[in-house]
Amino acid sequence: MRLVLVGPPGAGKGTQAEFIAAHLAVPKISTGDIFRSNVSQGTPLGIEAKRYMDAGELVPDEVTINMVRDRLAEPDASEGFLLDGFPRTTPQAAALDKLLADLGTALDVVLELVVDDDEVIRRLSGRRTCRGCGKIWHVEFDATTREGICDRCGGELFQRDDDKPETIATRLREYAEKTAPLVDYYGAQGKLVGIDATGPVEDVTVRAIDALRSYGG
């Protein structure tokens, strides 16, 4: 199966991607992993991407797409894959369609994790990170024994700027403007299936796998 996972920040894409890819026995491919791999190996694309990143600029779509092309051409992706974090925009989606057509294949399904903005803010704004060991806790879902103190190492907990409500609201606006149109794009192709991404992680995974069964998953 060849699928793309989409959803707003805080929808649990990273967690669900791991479980779903393991269930389908396909590689989980994230743009973050691809970037890190290319940069650490010093590939020509990695060197080019690092130049933009070091300058604080966005890596152009062309570079990102070429990295994805190289990754999808690797043997472990020949029978299927799960893309997490790509495409993020409709131009990237169109480029992915062309890339896959060049490889003689196409996406089977796009799975959307559906969660409302209030739930996203609740999930992300409650996160606290340990300055000592880096473990992430949550004031509601995974609280420490002592407020503000890490149970693992005794370090001080703090709220990352990314997890502050005003930052989350900005990220959600960016998602609505740039990534949410993917829902219409793939819906028009008849490849979109949405599931409720609220509740326990295990329940969301079950819903996802059930939804994918009709697509051969």
The answer on whether 46 is annotated among ligand-binding residues is no
Write out the two tokens for 43: 């590939």
Q: Which of 2, 71, 123, 127 is catalytic?
A: 127
Give the C-alpha separation, 162 to 170, whole Å: 10
Q: Which of 122, 171, 178, 191 is catalytic?
A: 171
The answer on whether 126 is annotated among ligand-binding residues is no
Active site residue 127: yes
Active site residue 88: yes
Write out the two tokens for 178: 């740039």
Active site residue 28: no
Task: Report whether 40 contacts 34 (CB < 8 A).
Answer: no
The answer on whether 85 is annotated among ligand-binding residues is yes
Quick one: which of 13, 17, 9 has its CA closest to 163? 9
The answer on whether 123 is annotated among ligand-binding residues is no
Residue 64 Cα distances to 36, 60, 95, 96, angstroms: 12, 7, 10, 11
Strand, coil or helix: 47: helix
The answer on whether 145 is annotated among ligand-binding residues is no
Give the C-alpha separation, 36 to 42, whole Å: 10
Active site residue 98: no
Write out the two tokens for 132: 């000592």
Quick one: which of 127, 140, 126, 124 has its CA closest to 172? 124
The answer on whether 59 is annotated among ligand-binding residues is yes
The answer on whether 128 is annotated among ligand-binding residues is no
Q: Which of 131, 152, 160, 173 is catalytic?
A: 160
The answer on whether 39 is annotated among ligand-binding residues is no
The answer on whether 171 is annotated among ligand-binding residues is yes
Q: Which of 13, 28, 71, 128 is catalytic?
A: 13
The answer on whether 13 is annotated among ligand-binding residues is yes
Active site residue 160: yes
Q: Which of 50, 88, 122, 207 is catalytic?
A: 88
**Which residue positions form the known binding site?**
10-15, 31, 36, 57-59, 85-88, 92, 127, 130, 133, 150, 153, 160, 171, 199
Q: Which residues are catalytic?
A: 13, 88, 127, 160, 171
**Which residue positions form the known binding site for AMP?**
31, 36, 57-59, 85-88, 92, 160, 171
